[in-house]
Amino acid sequence: MNPLTLNHYLLASGLLFSIGFAGVLLRRNIITIFMCLELMLNAANLSLVAFSRFHIGADGLPNYNAQVLVFFIITVAAAEVAVGLAIIVALYRARQTTHVEDLVSLKF
């Protein structure tokens, strides 16, 4: 079997991103849309980690700047999930729905 190249990982990451992207465009349930957003964020993390492993520095170690960026992305994503789900709960209390087609007015 051929050895793995950087393109394998970039392709896997891009396919995961496009699955999440298609989900955000196609689904109508706001919670599922939120899960698809998480898929897209993680696809970006996969390509960052692949680049980190690909660039071996002079000391023979991977480039850790990319992994620190992944750490920040995970932290910000966790904060974003907490705030987003709180907004969804507030929205559900006001309108009793999580279907985006029922939520068309900005102010109610």
Q: Considering only residues 24 through 43, tell me which ones interact with another protein, judged by CB under 8 A.
A: 25-29, 31-32, 34-36, 38-39, 42
The token duo for 70 is 């992944």
Q: Does 46 bind another protein (CB under 8 A)?
A: yes
Q: Of the two residues 21 and 103, which places its CB atom closer to another protein in the complex?
A: 21
What is the closest distance, in whole angstroms, from the C-beta atom of residue 17 to another protein in the complex?
8
Which residues ranging from 48 to 87 are in contact with another protein (CB under 8 A)?
A: 49-50, 52-54, 56, 59-62, 64-65, 67-68, 70-72, 74-83, 85-87
Contacts of 8 (CB under 8 A, 6+ apart): none
In 3D space, the residue among 77, 76, 49 whose CA is nearest the CA of residue 64 turns out to be: 49
Tokens 């960026």, located at residue: 69
Q: Residue 2, Cβ neighbours under 10 Å: how many?
A: 5
What is the closest distance, in whole angstroms, from the C-beta atom of residue 97 to another protein in the complex?
10
